[in-house]
């Protein structure tokens, strides 16, 4: 199988991981197998969530290769796939414009996807560069914005710095949580930001997710008990 299990915490590196959810085997989210590849088996991976009892960081146990997720099959999720999503990104862009004069500001969006948000910021006068792990999404976004295909890391940040320079604002919505090397990812952000610059990111919140009751009642009670046991 093309995966490994994590044994040390992604954040504090201690071997203090405790399983809190096991949902069995699942294939990657946000992708559909195209007709021409239907003969290939869609790989499944154990969907297990661990909590670090030392630093309380919650993380997935299975380490997969990002190339298998983002490049093997065209990524299907788009930033502009619903009215709700479009309104959310429009609100973010308008809010940012109220706080900062965006004219000629250098903005890098990591996980720029189909370019929806970056394009809004470009229309407000910013100089934008989109980065995305999916080549397919980069091709779509290139119709509207300047974009590069890359799986973001500290190493990649050095190449981007040479080409684009440092940014006034870096945006990464629902991206850092996909990284298997979050500390290296943050080093890359630091390397690409100007002094007194802004890093804007969105992350899923475990507690809000738990309280949203999207899990069955039984699962909710197990999770609640497991979580309370840890404190
Ligand atoms: Zn930890």
How many Å lie between the centroid of ligand 1 and the Cα of residue 20? 14
Chain segment 9-68, per-residue pLDDT in tens: 999 999 999 998 888 999 887 777 778 878 877 889 999 999 999 998 999 999 988 777
Q: Which CATH architecture has domain 83-202?
A: 3-Layer(aba) Sandwich (3.40)
How many Å lie between the centroid of ligand 1 and the Cα of residue 51? 8
Q: Is 90 exceeded by the pLDDT of residue 75?
A: no
How many Å lie between the centroid of ligand 1 and the Cα of residue 177? 15
Mean pLDDT of 162-187: 94
Taken as a whole, the chain contains a residue count of 231
How many Å lie between the centroid of ligand 1 and the Cα of residue 48? 16
Mean pLDDT of 95-112: 96
Find the helix or strand (DSSP H, E) in which 226 lies: helix 217-229
Average pLDDT for the chain: 88
Dihedral sign for Cα 201, 149, 126, 93, please: negative
Residue with tokens 């990524």: 75
In the structure, what pLDDT confidence band is assigned to residue 231 with cuts at 50, 70 and 90? low
Domain ranges, ordered by start, for the chain: 3-65, 83-202
Choice between 78 and 231, residue whose per-residue pLDDT is larger:
78
pTM for this one?
A: 0.84
Of 74, 67, 29, the closest CA to residue 174 belongs to 29
How many Å lie between the centroid of ligand 1 and the Cα of residue 180? 14
CB count within 10 Å of CB 164 equals 17
The pLDDT score that the predictor gives to residue 45 is 93
Contacts of 183 (CB under 8 A, 6+ apart): 10, 11
Q: Is 90 exceeded by the pLDDT of residue 192?
A: yes
Q: Is 80 exceeded by the pLDDT of residue 73?
A: no
The pLDDT score that the predictor gives to residue 99 is 95
Chain segment 120-168, per-residue pLDDT in tens: 999 999 999 999 988 888 999 999 999 999 999 999 999 999 999 999 9
CA 27 to chain centre: 17
SS3 letters across 148-169: EECCCCHHHHHHHHHHHCCEEE
CB count within 10 Å of CB 53 equals 14
Chain segment 198-222, per-residue pLDDT in tens: 999 999 888 787 777 776 666 667 6
The pLDDT score that the predictor gives to residue 226 is 67
Mean pLDDT of 111-125: 96
Q: Is 90 exceeded by the pLDDT of residue 191?
A: yes
How many Å lie between the centroid of ligand 1 and the Cα of residue 18? 10
Q: Is 70 exceeded by the pLDDT of residue 1?
A: no
């Amino acid at each position: 199988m093309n995966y490994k299990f994590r044994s040390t915490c992604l954040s504090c590196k201690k071997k203090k991981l405790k399983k809190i959810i096991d949902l069995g085997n699942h294939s990657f989210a946000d992708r559909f197998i195209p007709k021409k590849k239907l003969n290939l088996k869609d790989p499944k991976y154990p969907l297990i969530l661990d909590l670090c009892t030392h630093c309380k960081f919650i993380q997935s146990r299975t380490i997969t290769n990002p190339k298998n997720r983002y490049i093997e099959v065209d990524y299907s999720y788009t930033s502009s796939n619903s009215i709700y999503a479009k309104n959310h990104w429009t609100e973010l862009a308008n809010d940012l414009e109220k706080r900062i004069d965006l004219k000629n500001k250098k903005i890098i969006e990591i996980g720029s996807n189909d370019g929806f948000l970056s394009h809004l910021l470009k229309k407000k006068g910013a100089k934008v560069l989109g980065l995305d792990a999916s080549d397919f999404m980069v091709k779509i976004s290139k119709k509207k914005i300047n974009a590069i295909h890359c799986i973001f890391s500290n190493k990649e940040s050095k190449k981007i710095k040479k080409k684009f320079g440092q940014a006034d604002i870096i945006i990464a919505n629902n991206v850092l949580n996909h990284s298997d090397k979050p500390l290296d990812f943050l080093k890359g952000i630091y390397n690409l930001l100007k002094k007194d610059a802004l890093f804007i990111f969105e992350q899923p919140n475990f507690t809000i997710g738990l309280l949203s009751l999207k899990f069955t009642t039984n699962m909710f009670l197990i999770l609640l008990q497991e979580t309370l046991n840890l404190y």
